[in-house]
Amino acid sequence: MTQVSDITYKGYILTATALPERDIYTGMLAVRAPSGTQSYSGILGEFPSAIGAVRYAFAYGMATIDCRPAPGDE
């Protein structure tokens, strides 16, 4: 089952999606800026759980907004 979650961070709306593929989940992220423009991450990686995929997508989005390296890229 696909899991979708939203949060608001510094005026941006982050929508994280976890898509099941066999025994793993892939994470993806959509970001809507305060101006209304949207961007999409594409596949962010493979995770053992839907929660892990969603958490990583949110961490990735927050790092991008803050101009920090993505999680794991430090």
pTM of the model: 0.92
Q: What are the boundaries of each domain within the chain?
A: 3-65
- pLDDT, tens digit (0-9, with 9 covering 90-100), for 33-58: 999 999 999 999 999 999 999 999 99
C-alpha distance from residue 50 to each of 3, 40, 61, 65 (Å): 7, 18, 17, 23
The pLDDT score that the predictor gives to residue 2 is 83
The pLDDT score that the predictor gives to residue 52 is 96
Task: Look up residue 31 and give its amino acid.
Answer: V
